[in-house]
Chain A
Amino acid sequence: MRLLRNPSLVAGFVMVGGVVALAAMGPLLAPHSPSAIIDAPYMPTGPRTLLGSDNLGRDVLSRFLWGGANLVWMAFGATFIALTLGAAVGISAAYFKGWTDEVLMRVVDLKMAFPSLVFVLLFVTMLGTSLPLLVLLCGLSLMPGAARVLRGAALAVVDKDFVQWARSVELPAHRILFREILPNITSPLLVETGLRLMWSISLLAGLSYLGYGIQPPTSDWGLMIYENRNALRVQPLAVVCPILAIAVFAIGGNLIAEGFARAFRQTR
């Protein structure tokens, strides 16, 4: 209940939840198939196309309602991969210390030297684009940041009595990592969830915009921005609607992170 009194958190959940609901329910509400050609290109709003038509004469509203499904699940997927791997790497480095810490953190540093977009583009250019590959690459590219933060959080826990006790009774390492340490770093983990969610949707939409993400004729918000960017002045809705949805999702993710961070500070 205390969390419900946290305005950032509530606003964040409402925004992210709203976009997720739009992405999940949108296809059921769309008046046309997202690939059906309904009108001439870039027509303004009319009785058949409530938000006008896009670069090929497809209904902007239908493409918008269909366009979030892939992007949103991919953003959650990439966030899940980034956090799972980040947590595994970060906690292991903090717990084992010594050369394990050195090796893992240098690998993380090496990865951090590559900007996320460059990293993903490198592999996509070599291997081609497929949705599972994009999710995996985005997850991997966002992993190092999570690993660094979670290592820092875990370092404050590994020397505590209950961990030392677990070591002394020779509990298996994986049990100490995931049963003893992980539950005690949930607050930074939740903060990271919000942040990684924001980064992953930005990265995925950016890839679609650059033509390396979801491929046409699939409907996708990033792709909608790319396909209609030249006609911003005659048909702004085809660009503005997806931008708004992505912005709301990203800001929502940020607010969730901020809300958890604030709640975390208050409990300390």
Chain B
Amino acid sequence: MTKDNRLNVTRRTMLLGTAAVLGSAALTGLSTGMARAQDGDVLRLAVTGSNADSLDPHRTQGQLTDIVRFTNLFDGLCEFNPDTSVANVLAESFTPNEDATVWTVKLVSGVKTHAGGDFGADDVIYSVKRILDPANPTKGGSLIGFIDAEKVEKVDDLTIRFTLATPYGPFREIWANRYLRMVTQDFDPAAPVGTGPFKFLSFAPGQESMFERFDDYFRGKAGVAKVQITNISDETASINALRGGQVDMAYKIPFAEARILEAEPGIKLLNNPSGMSLPLYMRTDIAPFNDVRVRQAFRLIADRDMMVRAALAGYGEVGNDMQGRSIAPCGPTEVEQRKQDIEAAKKLLEEAGQSGLSVELATVNGTSGMVECAQVFAEQAKAAGVTVKVNVLEEAAYLANYGEWAFGVDFLNDTYLPLVARSLVPGGSFNNTHWDDAEFNALFAEASASSDEAKRCEIISKMRMIEHERGGNIIWGFANILNAYSDRLQGLETYVVDSAFYHLRKVSFV
């Protein structure tokens, strides 16, 4: 008898085989589930960054990965609340003298650093001098340029006195800015020590960083044991990583994708009503935009509702050619909403001798909406006989001529006075319009010097009126910032200026 070597498949072996396959699949699923449960305390983020990533909160290029890292490793004297109001963090109180030229800052006691030491006045003085170091210009330096680094004195271990050359009223508020975080003395970016809710574990520029919870954090322990920040610059890849469960939070969500994500099970959308404007800026120092009639004509061309609907997919709010979506604690500035008026625009262009004007509009694929708003505006301009040629540039090419483009698109997000300092007065590093309005500049100086909030609000209102009347920006709308996260998370809040990504201590797993 010859033995048949072929596999003898009977119904019994088939059933056994199927059971084995299903059983192993179930075990695999169980083990995956267990693995998830074990490492469920690691919060994984997908954020946009680059090879130029750094752990230095002051000497940074300002990419998002850097900001997310340093806002969780280091604290500031103050921070932004979800609205634009400011809360004290490391500072307990700010006391000005009568004319707001001397400010005494008292620190919170008992704040521990990641190295186990006490945080104190020496660390603040070291940080401020580091930010203002002329040999290493920092992003925060221009925000506190009114401080003379040599006149920052230690009163005692928890008290510092700042003597200013000129009065500065919103002194406390400025410290909420993300670029003004406090480091400890002899700071080493390779082994960063701060006071933040997370401690440094590892960092590979352009790739990934890992932090762990700082158990002695003075505002209470963070909700997760570890944070893993992965650089994913491509929007689609970042969303797919969230869908696939490789990350728990994704920063960059394009407006077009939001509607789809909102309907997806397991994923939640964080729709931040940010103060980010995407202005179309016009250089006020060269033709044709040095003529205010041309600028006003261009502002009348914009159909703002359509721009918000088309360029932001409705995720935003119409603007009125004034910076500041919210200028809290000040109330809104009472100016009639500017609307599209093609006939008035044509008339103004005719009066200015610029009928049939043709201009190039420089834009870049920076933040969502920058290219789209340029295209929508170009289409709307046709009705007024204006030809707008949209020039979508590479980021490097756009930045190489930053500040030189006659007509371009930018994005700005900050509270009102810091934003004015950066973009609406001479010397501001973002003053693309090259606007230099004597009355506006004087009002800005007055608002900066005032420590009386009511008076400051009154001045800000006047400044915004001037912007509306003769400024160099078409502020057609404010874009929401969209993030997405897994529904396994809780504690995420929407922010106007900051982001839930900068406040990860509040986030935990359900």
Taking CB atoms and an 8 Å cut-off, the chain B residues in 348-378 that contact chain A are: 365, 371-372, 375-376, 378
Say yes or no for B9: interface residue by CB 8 A criterion. no
Say yes or no for B390: interface residue by CB 8 A criterion. yes
Taking CB atoms and an 8 Å cut-off, the chain B residues in 254-313 that contact chain A are: 254-257, 259-260, 306, 309-311, 313
Say yes or no for A7: interface residue by CB 8 A criterion. no
Residues of chain B lying within 8 A (CB to CB) of residue A125:
394
Is B394 within 8 A of A231, CB to CB?
no
Residues of chain A lying within 8 A (CB to CB) of residue B390:
215-217
Is B259 within 8 A of A40, CB to CB?
no
- State which of A36, A42, A211, A231 has its C-beta within 8 Å of the C-beta of B379: A36
Residues of chain A lying within 8 A (CB to CB) of residue B309:
40-41, 57
Is A35 within 8 A of B379, CB to CB?
yes
**In the complex, A233→B239 CA distance in Å?**
14
**In the complex, A122→B392 CA distance in Å?**
17
- State which of B235, B310, B392 has its C-beta within 8 Å of the C-beta of A56: B310
Residues of chain B lying within 8 A (CB to CB) of residue A40:
309-310, 313-314
Q: In the complex, how many angstroms separate the beta carbon of A158 from the nearest chain B beta carbon?
A: 47
Q: Known contacts A215-B390, A215-B392; is A42 also within 8 Å of B236 by CB?
A: no
Say yes or no for B233: interface residue by CB 8 A criterion. no
Say yes or no for A37: interface residue by CB 8 A criterion. yes
- State which of A56, A211, A229, A234 has its C-beta within 8 Å of the C-beta of B375: A56
Say yes or no for A230: interface residue by CB 8 A criterion. yes
Say yes or no for B185: interface residue by CB 8 A criterion. no
Residues of chain B lying within 8 A (CB to CB) of residue A56:
310-311, 372, 375-376
What sequence of 0s and 1s flags, for each residue 115-135 of chain A, a beta carbon within 8 Å of any chain B beta carbon? 000000000010000000000
Say yes or no for A55: interface residue by CB 8 A criterion. yes
Residues of chain A lying within 8 A (CB to CB) of residue B257:
230-231
What sequence of 0s and 1s flags, for each residue 98-142 of chain A, a beta carbon within 8 Å of any chain B beta carbon? 000000000000000000000000000100000000000000000
Is A37 within 8 A of B376, CB to CB?
yes
Is A216 within 8 A of B392, CB to CB?
yes
**In the complex, A96→B157 CA distance in Å?**
88
Q: Known contacts A40-B309, A56-B311, A217-B390; is A35 also within 8 Å of B260 by CB?
A: no
Is B256 within 8 A of A41, CB to CB?
yes
Q: Known contacts A42-B256, A216-B371; is A211 also within 8 Å of B392 by CB?
A: yes
Residue of B nearest to A35 (CB): B379
Residue of B nearest to A125 (CB): B394
Q: In the complex, how many angstroms separate the beta carbon of B264 from the nearest chain A beta carbon?
A: 10
Taking CB atoms and an 8 Å cut-off, the chain A residues in 20-46 that contact chain B are: 35-37, 40-42
Say yes or no for B391: interface residue by CB 8 A criterion. yes
What sequence of 0s and 1s flags, for each residue 50-71 of chain A, a beta carbon within 8 Å of any chain B beta carbon? 0000011100000000000000
Is A37 within 8 A of B310, CB to CB?
yes
- State which of A37, A41, A229, A233 has its C-beta within 8 Å of the C-beta of B313: A41
Residue of A nearest to B379 (CB): A35
- State which of A36, A37, A55, A215 has its C-beta within 8 Å of the C-beta of B256: A55
**In the complex, A90→B423 CA distance in Å?**
59
Q: In the complex, how many angstroms separate the beta carbon of B250 from the nearest chain A beta carbon?
A: 13
**In the complex, A217→B379 CA distance in Å?**
9
Residue of A nearest to B236 (CB): A230
What sequence of 0s and 1s flags, for each residue 209-234 of chain A, a beta carbon within 8 Å of any chain B beta carbon? 00100011100000000001111011
Is A216 within 8 A of B256, CB to CB?
no
Is B235 within 8 A of A216, CB to CB?
no
Is B260 within 8 A of A234, CB to CB?
yes
Is B310 within 8 A of A41, CB to CB?
yes
Q: Which of A36, A37, A57, A233 has the most CB of B within 10 A?
A: A37
Is A229 within 8 A of B236, CB to CB?
yes
**In the complex, A233→B261 CA distance in Å?**
11
What sequence of 0s and 1s flags, for each residue 173-212 of chain A, a beta carbon within 8 Å of any chain B beta carbon? 0000000000000000000000000000000000000010
Q: In the complex, how many angstroms separate the beta carbon of B361 from the nearest chain A beta carbon?
A: 11
Is A215 within 8 A of B254, CB to CB?
no
Is B260 within 8 A of A37, CB to CB?
no
Is A230 within 8 A of B376, CB to CB?
no
Is B256 within 8 A of A231, CB to CB?
yes
Q: Known contacts A230-B256, A231-B260; is A37 also within 8 Å of B379 by CB?
A: yes
**In the complex, A57→B303 CA distance in Å?**
14
Residue of B nearest to A215 (CB): B392
Is B260 within 8 A of A217, CB to CB?
no
What sequence of 0s and 1s flags, for each residue 225-247 of chain A, a beta carbon within 8 Å of any chain B beta carbon? 00011110110000000000000
Is B375 within 8 A of A42, CB to CB?
no
Q: Known contacts A37-B306, A56-B311; is A217 also within 8 Å of B378 by CB?
A: yes
What sequence of 0s and 1s flags, for each residue 230-258 of chain B, a beta carbon within 8 Å of any chain A beta carbon? 00000110000000000000000011110
Is A233 within 8 A of B260, CB to CB?
yes
Q: Which of B256, B379, B390 has the most CB of A within 10 A?
A: B256
Residues of chain B lying within 8 A (CB to CB) of residue A216:
371, 375, 390, 392
**In the complex, A235→B236 CA distance in Å?**
16
Is B254 within 8 A of A217, CB to CB?
no
Taking CB atoms and an 8 Å cut-off, the chain B residues in 310-328 that contact chain A are: 310-311, 313-314
Q: In the complex, how many angstroms separate the beta carbon of A214 from the nearest chain B beta carbon?
A: 11
Is B254 within 8 A of A230, CB to CB?
yes
Residues of chain A lying within 8 A (CB to CB) of residue B310:
37, 40-41, 56-57
**In the complex, A228→B254 CA distance in Å?**
11
Q: In the complex, how many angstroms separate the beta carbon of A127 from the nearest chain B beta carbon?
A: 11
Residues of chain B lying within 8 A (CB to CB) of residue A231:
256-257, 260
Residues of chain A lying within 8 A (CB to CB) of residue B372:
55-56
Residues of chain B lying within 8 A (CB to CB) of residue A41:
255-256, 309-310, 313
**In the complex, A165→B5 CA distance in Å?**
73
**In the complex, A250→B372 CA distance in Å?**
30
**25 sampled A-B residue pairs with Cβ under 8 A:** A35-B378, A40-B310, A40-B313, A41-B255, A41-B256, A41-B309, A41-B313, A42-B256, A55-B372, A56-B375, A57-B309, A57-B310, A125-B394, A211-B392, A215-B390, A215-B391, A216-B371, A216-B375, A216-B390, A228-B256, A229-B236, A230-B235, A230-B256, A231-B256, A231-B260
Given A57-B310, A217-B379, 18 further pairs, Cβ under 8 A: A35-B375, A35-B379, A37-B376, A41-B309, A41-B310, A41-B313, A42-B256, A55-B372, A56-B376, A125-B394, A215-B392, A217-B375, A217-B378, A217-B390, A230-B235, A230-B254, A230-B257, A233-B260
Interface residues of B (CB under 8 A from A): 235-236, 254-257, 259-260, 306, 309-311, 313-314, 365, 371-372, 375-376, 378-379, 390-392, 394
